Amino acid sequence: MIVARQGQDPTLPFWRAAVILRIVTLFFALAVIYSHRTTYERPQLAFAAAGVMIAWTAVVSYRYWRPNGPNLLAFTIVDLAICCVVMTTSRWVLTPAQLHGLGTPLIPTIWVTGVVAAGALSAGAVVGTVFGGVVAAFNYGVRGYFDIDLTRDLFLLVGIGFVLGLAATSLRRSAERLAEALRVEAATAERERLARSIHDSVLQVLARVRRRGAELGGEAAELAKLAGQQEVALRALVSSAPAASEAGMADLGARLKVLETDRVAVSAPATSVLVPAVVATELTAAVREALNNVDKHAGAEARAWVLLEDLGSEIVVSVRDDGVGIAPERVTEAEREGRMGIAKSLRGRIAELGGTVTLETAPGEGVEWELRVAR
């Protein structure tokens, strides 16, 4: 059995089966040509067409045996053109009686089905269907009439192209999902290993500093508070899911979870919220800027809550605190004074993503930012 190795196109066994089909059908076509050599109107042209078929079968067998590489679809289009040209030679090889009767097949016979398979494997069901339709159209054109048998060939060729293309596309998608699942599994195993190591060393030290500093009081209590914040952040980091994928996507929920501390609570869906990595990076940075403002301006005892919502068509991140709040016009004044944290780090980032930022606040009522970005 032919099996594709890791890193290869998962449809490689199909390609090699298509090569074998092309070779087998070539021998069948050569046998048909030889058996009808005495009845053709121009047998020499038939033998010339047979030579083209032999040479081209060697070329496509070499190309399709290892289909990885550039311009594969363009090559299959050339393959289709050559097959159609060989079919067209039947107009001069067969006698009028042979062309208008199904007793004598066209020169390539079933050899042309190989190009339908190649088109389907290279670009999917739509291209496979088109290739089948083109071959069937030339079958009609060369024969010069329509009947139920030729229409049957049309449905067979189109059906082969559609089904094989659909199977190839599904196989590629399944292989991508499997590769991503294996990558996430490996990343999760590595994260768990690191989490165990960190728990046995860094987290225990931070916990001890937090407890001892709280007992001593004074400046040590401030150090204990900082150690407690870092302990919470580190626990969130090592317990979060892998934040990025090889497909250029990232789990926004996992990235926001890292921002969780003893004063910041983060709520996100249980399932991954996958967005492009650049979107996850910019949204996380914007949320971090909002939390920095909470730390600087909301008050020493203020707490913050981050809520991530996946609405399908858009992503909504809310950052709310129970601090002292601000006057709405204060944001505009800060921008005029040259304090660009909100203007650039928060609103600017979201604007570059094509999103919107909404601010709700009042003195003594806390602050709530709502960041909306379309998927």
pTM of the predicted protein model: 0.60
DSSP symbols for 247-267: TSEEEHHHHHHTT--SSEEEE
Q: Identify which of 360, 303, 356 has the alpha carbon closest to the alpha carbon of residue 326.
A: 360
Instruction: Please give the Cα distance from 33 to 105 (Å, whole number).
Output: 9
- Please state the rounded mean pLDDT for residues 310-325: 90
Phi and psi for 250 in degrees, rounded to 5?
-140, 150
Token pair 């090559």 is found at: 75
In eight-state DSSP terms, residue 346 is: I
* Angle of the 202-216 helix axis to the 148-200 helix axis, nearest 10: 40
Per residue in 152-184, pLDDT tens? 999 999 999 999 999 999 998 888 888 877 877
Reported as a single tens digit per residue, the pLDDT across 333-362 is 665 655 545 656 688 888 889 999 888 887
Crossing angle between the packed helical segments 113-123 and 43-65, to the nearest 10 degrees: 30
Helix, coil or strand: residue 343: helix
Residue 353 DSSP SS3: coil
Estimate the share of the chain in helix, then strand, then coil, as percent rounded to the nearest 5.
65, 10, 25
Name, of 121-135, 214-228, 262-276, the range with top average pLDDT.
121-135
Q: Point out which residues pair with 207 in neighbouring strands.
A: none
- Range from 57-66, 71-80, 300-309 carrying the lowest mean pLDDT: 300-309
Measure CA of the first residue to CA of the last residue in the chain; give whole Å.
43
